[in-house]
Amino acid sequence: MKKTDVAVIGLSCVFPGAQDADTFWQNIINKVDSTQTVPADRIDSVHFSDTTNPVDRFYCKRGGFIPDYEFDPTAFGILPLAVEGTEPDHLLTLDLIRKALDDAGIFKKQISLEKTGIIIGKGNYTGPGATRAIEIVRTGEQISSLLQELLPQVSPEDIEKVKHAFQERKGRFAADTAMGLIPNLVASLVANRFNLGGAAFTVDAACASALLAVDHAVQELHRGRCDMVIAGGVHTGQNAAFWSIFAQLGALSHQQQIKPFSADADGLLIGEGCGFVVLKRLEEAVRDQDKIYAVIKGVGVSSDGNGTSVMSPSVKGQLKALQQAWINADLDEKQIGYLEAHGTGTPLGDKTELQTLAQFFGKEEAAPVAGIGSVKSNIGHAMPAAGIAGLIKTCLALHHDTLPPTLYCENPVPDMQNTRFAPVQEPKNWSKTGLPKVAAVNAFGFGGINAHVVLEGYDMPKKDRVLILARPTNEELLSALQNNETEKGEGNYRIALFDPTPERIEKAIKIVAKDNPWRNKQDIWYTNTPLLKDGGKIAFVFPGLDGLAKGEVESVSRYFGLNEPIEAEGEGLLNDALGIFNKCSILDNALKSSELFPT
C-alpha cells in the first residue's frame, strides 16, 4: 500500500441498455450489444439517408441511447415545472451522485461531506435544453424575418402569431429553467444539493474528459484538500447537429456496427451515458472498512503536441501518458493483466493505439498474453463519458474477478499480433488465468489529449465466520443452537463458535449440554458465568506478536491498513533496529485503532 493509492469505494452509472451498474456489468459479461436504431424522439428520422452530400442527412442511423429514466425532482428541491427546460444531464448527475454516495455507504454512516469534492467530465455540447432555448429565442425570430421577406402581404400581427405558436410548441423557457442550461453549473448544483465543501467544477477534454476528472480528483486527495471526491463524466448531447459533424468527417460506421480492433471495422457509433466513482485515500478506506472495488495506483495525462494534424492521434503523445501513469503507480508494466482500450473502431485510431501498446508494453514470447477490450463495442462511443464507462467496467471486472469480453473482434487487425494483448472473447475467471489483477484504462481525446489510469484489484481481508449467542438459561441457549438461530440475544449463558458448520454446531451443542465452561478448545468458547459479572477484569495477550522478537506482523499491517513508518533498506545494526521499531509501531497503532491501550 502506497500513501498515494486511491480506493474506489462507490460507483453508479446509466448507459445504453442499463439503468444501473449491476445491469451494466451483466450486459458486459453476457456480451450484449446495447446499440439501437436512433429513436425518433431523439433525432428526427428525416435526417437519415444514404445520401451523404447534404449536411443534414446522415448515412449511419444506429447509436447508443440511455433508457427512459425516472427522476423525482422534489427529492432534490427542484420544482417539477422547472424540469422540462433543464438539461437532462443535470438531473441524471444529481440522481447518480446520490446513488454513488449511497453505494459507498456515506448516508448509512452519516459521514460529513464538508471535505468532499465533485469533478465532472462534460463536453460543452449543446444539449436538448439549450437547443430548445435557442430555437425559442433565435429560430422563432428567424422564422418571423423569413416570413416577412417571402410573404410581404401577410400582416405583422399574423407573423407574430406564427412565431408565438412556434415558441409555445417548443415548451417553457423562463427564469426558473435558465439556470439548468448552463453547462458548468451542474457541478455547483451537486455541491449545493449535497452540501459538498470541496472543489466543484467541470472539465472538457473531449473523449478524455472523465479520466481528466479522475486525475483532478486524485490530485485533490493527494494535496489533502479533500478527504473524498466524486469524479465521472456525462454525455447526453445526442442531436442532429452533433451527428452531422461526425457524418461529415466520415467517422461513423457504414456497417452500422462498432468493432474495435477488428480487421473489418469501419468507424464508430455515437453513444451516451453518465457514470461516477467515489474516491478516497486507500489507507483511510481500509481504516473505515469501506467496500473497495479497485485501487487507483497511478494516472498519466499528456498532449500530442505538434503532429500531422490536430485530428490525428499520436503515438508519441499517448506514450507520455502511459509512462507517467506507470511511474506514478510504481508498478512494472509487465504485470498488466487487462487493458480497457480507447478502441473507437476507427482504423486510424485503433492502429495508433496498438502501436502505442506495442512500444510501451512490448511483446515477450515468454510473457503471458494479457486481455484487451473496449466497452464501446457494447454501448457506442460515449464521448466525454467514454472514460468513465471504461473505468467502471474495469473496476467491476477487478471486483468480480472476471476478465470481461469485448464484442466483434473475432478477427483482430494484424497490428494486434505485435502486442502482448489479445481480445477477450468470453468472460474468464481472472485469478484462474494466472494473470496479475492489474489493469489499465485508456481515454484519448479528440484533438490530442490523452489519459491513462492504472488500477489494481483489492482483496478485502477475510474475517472468520463466527456465531455468537447469549440466552438467559442453558435450555434456551441449547434451543437456539438446535434451531440454527443467529440473533445474538442477551443472557449469562453465552457461546462463541468460529466456522459454524453443522458438524461444529453439533459439537457446540454437546459442550453446552454439559454446562461446564469451555474456553478456546477447537475455537469454541462457552460460559455460564460471565467473567465481568462480579467485577472481574479482562487482559488481552498477544503471543507471537512481539515486535522485539521479530514476530509476524504482516497480516496485522494488511488488516488494519498500516504502513511501516520508516523505510528500512540494506543490512546492519541500524536496519535491524528500524525493523524492530516499525513492527512495534504497527502493533501499537493496531491496538490503538481497536481502542486498546497497552499498559
Kindly report, residue by residue over 120-177, the tens digit of the pLDDT. 999 888 777 778 788 888 898 999 999 999 999 999 999 999 999 998 888 877 776 6
Task: Return the pLDDT at 592.
Answer: 78
Task: Return the pLDDT at 179.
Answer: 67
Burial 560-596 (b: 16+ CB within 10 A, else e): bbbeeeeeeeeeeeeeeebebebbebbbebbbeeeee
How far is Cα 4 from Cα 328, in angstroms, rounded to an integer?
9
Mean pLDDT throughout 416-440?
A: 97
Residue percentage of the chain with pLDDT more than 70: 95
Task: Return the pLDDT at 574.
Answer: 73
Between the alpha carbon of residue 111 and those of residues 7, 104, 116, 278, 287, the distances in Å are: 17, 10, 10, 13, 14
Task: Return the pLDDT at 551.
Answer: 61
How high does pLDDT run on average in the chain? 90
Task: Return the pLDDT at 311.
Answer: 75
β partners of residue 338:
371, 439
pLDDT of residue 546 exceeding 60, the answer is no
Task: Return the pLDDT at 155.
Answer: 93
Task: Return the pLDDT at 541.
Answer: 66
Assigned C-alpha cell, 65: 441511447
Task: Return the pLDDT at 539.
Answer: 72
pLDDT of residue 411 exceeding 70, the answer is yes
Mean pLDDT throughout 364-376?
A: 92
Mean pLDDT throughout 391-418?
A: 97
Task: Return the pLDDT at 599.
Answer: 60
Largest CA distance in the chain: 108
Burial 200-226 (b: 16+ CB within 10 A, else e): bbbbbbbbbbbbbbbbbbbebbeeeeb
Distance from the Cα of residue 320 to its chain's centroid: 24
Domain regions of the chain by residue span:
6-124+183-456, 129-177, 466-527, 547-593
CATH of domain 6-124+183-456: 3.40.47.10
Task: Return the pLDDT at 598.
Answer: 59
Global confidence as pTM: 0.80
pLDDT of residue 213 exceeding 50, the answer is yes
pLDDT of residue 549 exceeding 70, the answer is no
